[in-house]
Structure 1
Amino acid sequence: MSFERIREKLNILADAAKYDVSCSSSGSTRTNKSKGLGNSTGMGICHSYTEDGRCISLLKILLTNHCIFDCAYCVTRKSNDIKRAAFKIQEVVDLTINFYRRNYIEGLFLSSGIFKNPDYTMERLVSVAKKLRLEENFNGYIHLKSIPGASDELMYEAGLYADRLSVNIEIPTISGLRLLAPDKKHEDFTKPMRKVRDEIRRYKAEKKVIRSTPTFAPAGQSTQMIIGATGESDKDIMYSATHYYSTYRMKRVYYSGYVPVAEDSRLPGIGSQVPMLRENRLYQTDWLLRFYGFDVREILNDHYPNLDVEVDPKLSWALRNLHHFPVDVNQADKRMLARVPGIGMQSVDRILKARRFRKLNWEHLKKIGVALNRARYFLVCDSRHWHQKDLEPATLKGLILQNSQGKFRKNYSTQLQLFD
């Protein structure tokens, strides 16, 4: 195979992989052994940020963009008139090793269209990971995109060689999937998820007894939803995400705004791309559920089915629940401090440590890192002044937005002065 043909395949199949955003490596601890190549400890992928703040990259490609399915939202669907290509197993292995040795990448994210059938495709994905591990002694990060409908046996083998596995649920609701991908069944997505969850549990239990037990998918599993292709509300999306977190122990659920790829009466028009702000609000809500102790029903319910685009979800909740405020920063517990707009979890921990030595005032909170342009309306501390003064939610929201815009203009003006 000529170099030009390999490069052409890479251009086609790397471009086709850009629609998959579920690529985070957090949680993997696969270390280098037997003087092998690479080490996935503490690393992220595909220009993602690790826990220690480093930004690192990944070879992110499809094995092929051929597909037997005709999902309306997918650029690689069989009815789409695009240039097709497919890598051989050894070509992906060689690309990964060569790119790694040139310090271009620190891992592999491999997905694929489905050709012939799910098991045939999944077997080829597993073969790539197996060759990298056993023949090339590659200890870098590997993320395999599991194929819906693949057998339990192949999912089990995939978990032995990959750091993370993921099955994209694609559409948040069963009705939406039935509309846009009538050839697919919801069970084809959940079956591999269930297998991976059960094997992770089994291997962890065995490792407590036998320390030499190998790891199984040490970075867990994730999934991705396409947002805005059907008419789901933010409530529908986040209730679905909560289900996958609790039922299948997902490490992450990713929310990808629908990108119009073709004219189809079932889809939004070509010019109606989902705003980035909606994705951002969903991720903020996801963060509140996972790290701040919120229940999804507190943020989204029948009365509030969609997120406020003007303010973040925590501030929106606080404005609807002013009876919980003001919070005394020197007395409140961790759970309530985490619910104050403008206070992140790092600041919560700093407050809890600092107040053991003295009572905190506004100046202390500013040094700790609390965003006082929001938090001051919901807090009392060792200072007489309290800003809320029984304001109505709409008035308070307007004040906070005005302060935020003023802060933005001030920062922007400062940046401009640097170039004068």
Structure 2
Amino acid sequence: MSFQRTQEKLKILSDAAKYDVSCSSSGSKRANTNKGIGDATGMGICHSYTEDGRCVSLLKILLTNYCIFDCAYCVTRKSNDIKRAAFKVQEVVDLTINFYRRNYIEGLFLSSGIFKNADYTMERLVAVAKKLRTEENFNGYIHLKSIPGASDELMREAGLYADRLSVNIEIPTKDGLKKLAPDKKHEDFIKPMKKVKNEIIQFKEEKKIIKSTPKYAPAGQSTQMIIGASGENDFQIMQTSNYFYKSYNLKRVYYSGYVPISYDNRLPQIGSAVPILRENRLYQTDWLMRFYGFEFSEILNERNQNLDLDIDPKLSWALRNLHEFPVDINSADKRMLARIPGLGMKSVYKILNARRFRKLNWEHLKKIGVALNRAQYFMICDSSKFEKRDLTSEKIKGLILQNSKSKYQQSLSNQLNLFG
């Protein structure tokens, strides 16, 4: 096949893959062995920027954008009038190796539309990973997007060659899925997730007895939900996430704002994409649940079904629960320290360590890096300076927003002076 045709396929199938955001790779520790190529150890690989500004990249493509389904929200749905293309298994293998050797990429994220049926498609995804591992001795990161409805046998084989597996549940609720993707069944998403969960558990148990047990999906599994296409509120979205985290031990849930890509009368008629701020608030809530010890019901419940777009979810919770404050940072446990707005987990651990040697005051907290413009309203320390205890939730919120606005305006003014 000509270079021009391969290049055309790559353009079509990489563009179609951009709507899938669930390709983080943290958690994999696949080392280079037997003088192979590639390595997925250490920080791993992702398609974005790391905290230190390092850009890491994956070859992110679809095997094909042909699809037998007609999901209203999907650009590759069968009724959409778009240019179609499909890679052969060997073409994807060759592209991955050639791109890696040219230092363009550090791994592969491979998804696909569904042609013929789930198993037919999944077989080809697995074949790509298997060839890379066994024939090319490739030890870089591989993320396979599992096909809903794929057999247990294929899901088991996929996990032996991929670092991470993911099944996109796509729509947060069963009713939404039925409306927008009537060809798909909720149980088809659950089945492969359950298989991966059980295989990971089995691998860990066997590893305790037999050290040479082959790795199985060392970076775990993830999923993605489209936000705003089927009208669910934030409570329903995070309720679904909470269920999957607890039931299937997911590493991540990704939230992808609905982008109006073409007209379909099943979809909400909105003129623009879901605000990025809503995605951000959902991710912040997700973070609080996974790393800060919050229960889902503390942040969202029947009384509070949508997140406040003006302020982050931790601050919103604190303002609704002022009876929990002020917190004495010199005596409070880790759980309560983590609930103070303005304190990240790094600051929490620094406080726990520092107070072993002396009582902490405001100056100490500034040096630690605590965002006092928020935290000062919710804690006390070895000083009475700046403490404010006679304010209502509304006044505190107003002061924090005013302070944030002033900082933004000052930053903007500094930039204008710099370039003007």
Return the TM-score normalized by structure 2: 0.98
- Do residues 193 (structure 1) and 183 (structure 2) align? no
Q: Which residue of 2 aligns with 1:251?
A: 251
Q: Structure 1 residue runs of 4+, over 6 Å off? A: none
Q: Which residue of 1 aligns with 2:402?
A: 402
- Do residues 358 (structure 1) and 358 (structure 2) align? yes
Deviations along 1:257-308, whole A, 9 cap, x unmatched?
A: 0011221222122513100000000000000000000001000001100000
Confirm or deny: 8 A CA contact 2:129 2:142 kept in the other structure: yes
**1: distance between equivalents of 2:122 and 2:44?**
24
**2: distance between equivalents of 1:53 and 1:356?**
34
Alpha-carbon distance, 1:49 to partner: 4.0
Q: Which residue of 2 aligns with 1:226?
A: 226
Q: Which residue of 1 aligns with 2:212?
A: 212
**2: distance between equivalents of 1:217 and 1:231?**
33
Amino acid at match of 1:408: Y
Confirm or deny: 8 A CA contact 1:226 1:255 kept in the other structure: yes
**1: distance between equivalents of 2:297 and 2:366?**
32
**2: distance between equivalents of 1:327 and 1:347?**
15
Alpha-carbon distance, 1:50 to partner: 4.7
Amino acid at match of 1:406: S
Confirm or deny: 8 A CA contact 1:362 1:382 kept in the other structure: yes
State the secondary structure of the residue aligned to 1:148: coil
Confirm or deny: 8 A CA contact 2:25 2:46 kept in the other structure: no
**2: distance between equivalents of 1:292 and 1:103?**
38
Q: Which residue of 2 aligns with 1:202?
A: 202
**2: distance between equivalents of 1:18 and 1:46?**
14
Deviations along 1:98-124, whole A, 9 cap, x unmatched?
A: 000000000000000000000000000
Confirm or deny: 8 A CA contact 2:334 2:352 kept in the other structure: yes
**2: distance between equivalents of 1:31 and 1:249?**
24
Deviations along 1:223-254, whole A, 9 cap, x unmatched?
A: 00000001111000001001000101000000
- Do residues 303 (structure 1) and 303 (structure 2) align? yes
Alpha-carbon distance, 1:358 to partner: 1.1
Within a 5 Å distance, the mapping from 1:265-344 to structure 2 comes to: 265-344=265-344
Amino acid at match of 2:184: K
Within a 5 Å distance, the mapping from 1:142-157 to structure 2 comes to: 142-157=142-157
Deviations along 1:119-158, whole A, 9 cap, x unmatched?
A: 0000000000000000000000000000000000000000
Alpha-carbon distance, 1:409 to partner: 1.5
Confirm or deny: 8 A CA contact 1:160 1:217 kept in the other structure: yes
State the secondary structure of the residue aligned to 1:70: coil
Within a 5 Å distance, the mapping from 1:50-65 to structure 2 comes to: 50=50, 54-65=54-65
State the secondary structure of the residue aligned to 1:224: strand
Q: Which residue of 2 aligns with 1:239?
A: 239
Confirm or deny: 8 A CA contact 1:262 1:270 kept in the other structure: no
State the secondary structure of the residue aligned to 1:165: strand
Alpha-carbon distance, 1:392 to partner: 1.4
- Do residues 113 (structure 1) and 113 (structure 2) align? yes
Alpha-carbon distance, 1:419 to partner: 2.5
Structure 1 alignment gaps of length 5 or more:
none
**2: distance between equivalents of 1:73 and 1:214?**
38
**1: distance between equivalents of 2:89 and 2:72?**
28
- Do residues 139 (structure 1) and 130 (structure 2) align? no
State the secondary structure of the residue aligned to 2:222: strand
Which is further off, 269-278 or 372-381?
269-278
Q: Which residue of 1 aligns with 2:165?
A: 165
Confirm or deny: 8 A CA contact 2:24 2:47 kept in the other structure: no
**2: distance between equivalents of 1:6 and 1:263?**
30
Deviations along 1:379-406, whole A, 9 cap, x unmatched?
A: 1111112433321111111111001111
**2: distance between equivalents of 1:46 and 1:207?**
27
Confirm or deny: 8 A CA contact 1:330 1:355 kept in the other structure: yes
State the secondary structure of the residue aligned to 1:418: helix
Deviations along 1:17-52, whole A, 9 cap, x unmatched?
A: 000000111110110000001001124445324577
State the secondary structure of the residue aligned to 1:341: coil
Cα–Cα, structure 1 residues 213 and 53, in superposed 2: closer, same or farther, change >3 Å? farther
Alpha-carbon distance, 1:168 to partner: 0.1
Alpha-carbon distance, 1:53 to partner: 5.9
Aligned residues: 420
**1: distance between equivalents of 2:263 and 2:85?**
23
Amino acid at match of 2:56: I
Confirm or deny: 8 A CA contact 1:149 1:188 kept in the other structure: yes
State the secondary structure of the residue aligned to 2:143: strand
Cα–Cα, structure 1 residues 12 and 270, in superposed 2: closer, same or farther, change >3 Å? farther
**1: distance between equivalents of 2:221 and 2:126?**
16
Within a 5 Å distance, the mapping from 1:14-33 to structure 2 comes to: 14-33=14-33
- Do residues 88 (structure 1) and 112 (structure 2) align? no
- Do residues 264 (structure 1) and 264 (structure 2) align? yes
Alpha-carbon distance, 1:326 to partner: 0.7
Q: Which residue of 1 aligns with 2:417?
A: 417
Amino acid at match of 1:158: A
Q: Which residue of 2 aligns with 1:9?
A: 9
State the secondary structure of the residue aligned to 1:55: coil
**2: distance between equivalents of 1:154 and 1:134?**
17
Confirm or deny: 8 A CA contact 1:379 1:386 kept in the other structure: no
**2: distance between equivalents of 1:366 and 1:352?**
15
Amino acid at match of 2:201: R
Pairwise CA RMSD:
1.2
**2: distance between equivalents of 1:13 and 1:330?**
56
State the secondary structure of the residue aligned to 1:48: coil
Structure 2 alignment gaps of length 5 or more:
none
State the secondary structure of the residue aligned to 1:56: coil
Amino acid at match of 1:364: H
Return the TM-score normalized by structure 1: 0.98
Identity percentage of aligned residues: 76
Amino acid at match of 2:31: T
State the secondary structure of the residue aligned to 2:419: coil
Q: Which residue of 2 aligns with 1:104?
A: 104
